[in-house]
């Protein structure tokens, strides 16, 4: 039991304490409440995993609730994208809810607060209201409209609802305490006028509730037991509770808000406003660009649900914010893809290699293991011929003893194939090697069991048979920002740190087993990295995205710098 208690995070400890102190297990209910004003990002993944993970742990329902109270920024496209992301991560919600479903109930409760003298219509400008808020050390100033009669407030509020006033003419404020130490309690705005069509209610409403008024009341309507928010909402908890105090009844469960810290990711921005800026300025091709930290971008790049959930589990839930190195996320996708991705051969920077003692026009098929991590993955046949491609960087005319690839007079093994020896090379006018001439040992075939096949050579190269090569567009994605905290500089804009080399497109030559692939298929290009088939790939124009390199090259680069 002691070990189990230690494994609980602090949110789970809160829930366990509540269960010991009167909560019933069948009263537990959680929710994930995104605002549909952008695509979900890796930061949301932690919240998704937390809420739905609690649902699984306690066998409790989890609602997917869209806090859609701002028609100026919200779109149906974002709603569908969010639903797709949550489903892709492997979670099922109990009820699909919308704050807009509660507009009438919220309005009725607001009317009740006006009648109780706890809310009033303020006709000042937003600037005037802000000026009267005071400071953390000085009390605010009461609005000249604070003591309007109940009758006048009701009439004005109904007029706001009926579209009789222009935007900014009036707001509804809660009447709390303009001298409260918590500035959020200084008569917060509950409603504002917006003459904009809503993605669900269209033009039925001209007034829209503010988040603080909507949040707790939506939790109450849905009977959410634990409303889990990120740490910036800690000061809002007092207001959350004040609003609930005005309307909860004894026979219904009262939600409680608790907060956990955001986990910020290095070399990334997760502000929806900044992500939208990247999209609108054409820095990326869209919200699902594989360089974006959005869940849809990570999915398109080749990240798996398991890798993201394992990452969220590793960083855990904490009370303090910190920056998590993106290398940890990359580690988890490498670890998972290593288990599931078939190994294949591809050459991205080709150098022609001719085996001079191999018969022209001859071909043979060699057996290649699909995944040494998975015995059930089986094997495939790859073609071998006289003319091959190898990587440019795998050959040097001369090299020191630490270069274990191909050099003149040196030997290497071709993966799954034969031992070859470089005899000569051909250069173009500027001195670049364009072809290497080799000889092979026909008795050295891998797995043949001959004495020659058992001979040890230090280097093993991947290769592609030129007559059988599949040509593909290969997109080499790297980090979008070349600074660990691109939005953490007061004197510079985050755009200043965009990595100009975050995408390189090359023509790759692949083994013929990759002729028929489907979007989302994942592979390890041996010695090069993990790649997946892009959503826009077609049989006539295959496109592969690099998910991640085989090793953390950035860590070495930053260490060197």
* Cβ atoms 11, 258 nearer than 8 A: yes
Q: Is residue 262 annotated as part of the catalytic site, yes or no? A: yes
Query: Distances from the Cα of 6 to the Cαs of 3, 263, 274, 297, in angstroms?
Result: 5, 21, 38, 35
Backbone torsion region of residue 13, taken as left when φ is above 0, otherwise alpha when ψ lies between -120 and 50, otherwise beta: alpha
Please state whether beta strands 62-66 and 30-32 pair in parallel, antiparallel, or not at all (unpaired): parallel
Catalytic hit among 262, 274, 421, 535: 262
Annotated active-site residue 35? The verdict is yes
Q: Which of 189, 192, 190, 225 is nearest to 206 (CA)?
A: 192
Question: Which of these is catalytic: 272, 299, 300, 343?
Answer: 272
311: CB partners within 8 A, 6+ apart: 45, 328, 329, 332
Q: Which residues contact 64 (CB under 8 A, 6 or more apart)?
A: 31, 32, 82, 83, 86, 93, 95, 96, 97
Question: Is 233:259 a contact under the CB 8 Å cutoff?
Answer: yes
Sign of CA dihedral 196, 200, 206, 208: negative
Does residue 272 have an active-site annotation? yes
Tokens of 349: 């920077």
Identified catalytic residue from 35, 142, 238, 259: 35
Task: Using DSSP bridges, classify how beta strands 470-477 and 350-355 pair: parallel, antiparallel or unpaired.
Answer: unpaired
End-to-end CA distance of the chain, in Å? 47
Report, as residue numbers or ranges, the catalytic residues. Answer: 35, 262, 272
């Amino acid at each position: 039991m002691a070990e189990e208690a230690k494994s609980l995070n602090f949110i789970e400890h809160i829930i366990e304490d509540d269960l010991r102190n009167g909560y019933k297990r069948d009263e537990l209910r959680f929710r994930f409440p995104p605002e549909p004003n952008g695509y979900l990002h890796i930061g949301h993944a932690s919240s998704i995993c937390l809420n739905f993970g609690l649902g699984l742990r306690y066998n409790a329902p989890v609602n997917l609730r869209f806090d859609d109270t701002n028609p100026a920024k919200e779109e149906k496209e974002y709603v569908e994208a969010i639903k797709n992301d949550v489903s892709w991560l492997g979670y099922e919600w109990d009820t699909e809810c919308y704050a807009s479903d509660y507009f009438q109930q919220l309005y009725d409760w607001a009317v009740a607060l006006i009648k109780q003298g706890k809310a009033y219509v303020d006709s000042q400008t937003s600037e005037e209201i802000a000026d009267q808020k005071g400071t953390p050390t000085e009390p605010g100033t009461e609005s000249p409209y604070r003591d309007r009669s109940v009758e006048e407030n009701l009439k004005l509020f109904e007029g706001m609802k009926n579209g009789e006033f222009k935007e900014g003419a009036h707001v509804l404020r809660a009447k709390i305490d303009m001298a409260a130490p918590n500035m959020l309690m200084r008569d917060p705005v509950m409603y504002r006028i917006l003459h904009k069509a809503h993605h669900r209610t269209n033009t039925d409403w001209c007034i829209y509730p503010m988040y603080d008024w909507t949040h707790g009341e939506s939790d109450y309507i849905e009977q959410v037991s634990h409303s889990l928010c990120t740490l910036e909402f800690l000061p809002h908890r007092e207001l959350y509770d004040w609003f609930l105090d005005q309307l909860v009844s004894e026979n219904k469960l009262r939600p409680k808000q608790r907060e956990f810290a955001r986990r910020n990711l290095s070399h990334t921005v997760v502000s929806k406003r900044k992500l939208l800026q990247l999209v609108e300025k054409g820095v990326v091709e869209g919200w699902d660009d594989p360089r974006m930290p959005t869940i849809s971008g990570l999915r398109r790049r080749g990240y798996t649900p398991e890798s993201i959930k394992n990452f969220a589990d590793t960083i855990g839930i904490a009370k303090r914010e910190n920056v998590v190195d993106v290398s940890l996320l990359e580690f988890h996708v490498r670890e998972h893809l290593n288990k599931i991705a078939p190994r294949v051969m591809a050459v991205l920077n080709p150098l022609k290699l001719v085996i001079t003692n191999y018969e022209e026009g001859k071909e043979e098929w060699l057996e290649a293991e699909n995944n040494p991590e998975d015995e059930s993955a089986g094997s495939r046949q790859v073609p071998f011929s006289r003319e091959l491609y190898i990587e440019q960087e795998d050959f040097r005319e001369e090299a020191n003893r630490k270069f274990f690839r191909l050099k003149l007079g040196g030997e290497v093994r071709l993966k799954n194939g034969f031992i070859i020896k470089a005899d000569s090379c051909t250069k173009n006018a500027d001195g670049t090697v364009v072809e290497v001439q080799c000889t092979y040992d026909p008795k050295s075939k891998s797995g043949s069991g001959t004495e020659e096949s058992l001979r040890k050579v230090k280097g093993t190269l991947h290769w592609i048979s030129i007559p059988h090569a599949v040509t593909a567009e290969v997109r080499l994605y790297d980090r979008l920002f070349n600074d660990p905290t691109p939005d953490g500089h007061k004197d510079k804009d985050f755009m200043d740190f965009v990595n100009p080399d975050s995408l390189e497109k090359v023509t790759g030559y692949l083994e013929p087993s990759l002729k028929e692939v489907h979007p989302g298929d994942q592979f390890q290009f041996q010695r090069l990295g993990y790649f997946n088939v892009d959503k826009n790939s077609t049989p006539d124009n295959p496109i592969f995205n690099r998910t991640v390199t085989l090793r953390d090259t950035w860590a070495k680069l930053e260490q060197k710098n």
